[in-house]
Structure 1
C-alpha cells in the first residue's frame, strides 16, 4: 500500500470520527448510524494496520 493511500485512509478515519461525534451530540443519536460509522472506522483501522505491517516488513528487509 502506498503512502498516498495511507494518508487518504487516515483522512477518512478522521472524517468518520467527526461524523461519530456529530451523531453522538444529537438529541437522539441513531444507534444504527453509530454502529455503521464504527464498523467503517474499524475497517479503515484494520487496513491501516495491515499497511503498517507491510511497510515495516519492507524496511526490515
Structure 2
C-alpha cells in the first residue's frame, strides 16, 4: 500500500468519524446507520494496520 493510499484512508476515517458524531447528535440517531459507519471505520483501521505491519517488516530487512 502506498503512502498516498494510507493518507486517503486516514482522511476517509476522519470523515466517517465526523459522520458518526453527526448521527449521534441527532435527536433520534439511527442504530443501523451508526453500525454501518462503525463497520466502515473498522475496515479502514484494519487496512491501515496491515499497512503499518508491512512498513515495519520492510524496515527491519
Name 2:14's counterpart in structure 1.
14
Name the TM-score, length of structure 1 as normaliser: 0.99
Name 1:25's counterpart in structure 2.
25
Structure 1 portions without partners, runs of 5+: none
Name 1:44's counterpart in structure 2.
44
Distance in 1 between residues matched to 2:16 and 2:58, nearest whole Å: 29
Measured against aligned partners, the alpha-carbon deviations of 1:11-49 in whole angstroms (never above 9, x if no partner) come to 000000000000000000000000000000000000000
Q: Residue 29 of structure 2 aligns to a residue in which SS? A: coil
Structure 2 portions without partners, runs of 5+: none
Name the TM-score, length of structure 2 as normaliser: 0.99
